[in-house]
Structure formats: structure tokens, C-alpha cells
Amino acid sequence: MMRINYIELPKFFKEFIKIPDNIETMVPKIKDTGNFISVPLKTFVTETGLAWFKEHDVFLHPTPFLFDMPPNITSVPHIDSNYDPTKLVAINFVLRGYGEVQWVDVEGDKEYFIFPDSDTGSPSVYTTFKNIKNVTVTDVWTGDAAVIHIQDPHRIVTKEARRILLTMRPKITSPNRTMNDFARILESLPRW
Ligand SMILES: [Fe+2]
């Protein structure tokens, strides 16, 4: 069966998100290819939003990430935290610009980066690729609010716009709590 790589979020989710006035300067510039910081959930999600997630048993880690990427970037394919079973999907909101997520088949050598998880402190693994010989795009998301799968190789393409993205990682509360689970929550909502 084909894996679902992303599920667009209903429009009302955007009302759950607050964008601070200093959003353009929140992420320090270190690398030319883009940077990220962890941010407090409550700075970006309204009380109503927090209540909605709680009511639907979506447990959000308290420190989502804010990514800031310049225009005209195609990132190296990567896999996020693939040994953390509580972080299988991301809830993504594009706050400035736009930016595709492309899922790819990639021929190359895997390279592993181990870092402490910002929520638990336990080791987390970020996998990227080097000596890439071939990349084939298998799926693309171009929206601005979606739940996306982060356990298969994917990359970001910003094209002509700077992209600022809030990415929240819902905790997976049982082994079978997957994208399909999230799809079921969304399907159960009144038509939006
Ligand atoms: Fe990612």
C-alpha cells in the first residue's frame, strides 16, 4: 500500500497559529542554507488551538522548531529523527513564503548526525545523504498547512521565496498512532 506522505489541514487550523511580529529575525543566521531554533509552543499556538489538539488526543511536544530558509534552495534529502518512535510525523505551517516538500528516492551514502532531542534529551538521529548519484522525486507537497511524514527521505525547495516554517512534532501515544490515525481524526471532523 502506498504510504500517505502528507494530509492538508483544514483552513481553521490557521486560526490556531499566532505569528510574532519579530518572526523575520527570530532565527539567527549561521549558515547560508538555512537555520532553525526551537521555540515555545505557546508563543505560536493559541489557547483555542492547544485545546483542540488536546481534545483530539494530539499531544504536542512543548518545543516545536522554527526553520528559516533563504530563496533558491534545494536542501539535501534527509530523514528526521528516525529512531525516535514518538516523532513520526510533523505538523507544518508555512508562515512566510512557500516551500515545497519533495519526497525522493535517493541513491547515495547515508550520513548520521546524533544530537540530543530538544524535548527529552535522549539521542536523536538526523540522517542525510552524501555522494548522491541520483534523486527521483516521488511525491510533492506545496501547501501551507499539513501533517507530513518525515521518516522517508525528503527535501525542501524554496524557489524564489524565503521560507519560514513552524514545525510541530506530535507525540505518538501508541505504536499504531500513525499518519493514518491523524487522517482518521481529520476525516471525523465536520466538512470544512
Ligand atoms: Fe524534514
Is 120 within 8 Å of 100 (Cβ atoms)?
Answer: no
Instruction: Assess if residue 1 is contained within a domain.
Output: no
Tell me, yes or no, whether 192 lies in a domain. no
- Full-model pTM: 0.87
- Looking at the predicted structure, is the pLDDT value of residue 176 above 70? no
Ligand 1 centre to CA of 79 (Å) is 6
Residue 70 has pLDDT above 90, yes or no: yes
Residue 50 located in a structural domain: yes
Distance 69 CA to ligand 1 centre (A): 13
> What's the 16 CA to ligand 1 centre distance in angstroms?
22
Cell 519526497 maps to which residue? 103
Instruction: Dihedral sign for Cα 13, 53, 67, 111, please.
Output: negative
The count of other CB atoms within 10 Å of the CB of residue 79 is 19
CATH code of residue 151: 2.60.120.10
Q: Give one DSSP letter per residue of 96-146, joined into a string.
A: ES--EEEEEEEEEEEEEEEEE-TTT-SEEEEEEEEEEEEEEEEEEE-SSEE
Give the structural domain span for 45.
Answer: 6-187
User: What's the 129 CA to ligand 1 centre distance in angstroms?
Assistant: 13
- How far, in Å, from the CA of 138 to the mean position of ligand 1? 15
Average pLDDT over every residue of 33-55? 93
For range 3-25, the mean pLDDT? 91
Binned at pLDDT 50, 70 and 90, residue 43 comes out as very high
Q: How many domains does one find in the chain?
A: 1
Query: Does residue 169 carry a pLDDT above 60?
Result: yes
Cα separation, 163 vs 68, whole angstroms: 6
Report the C-alpha gap between 34 and 164 in whole angstroms: 10
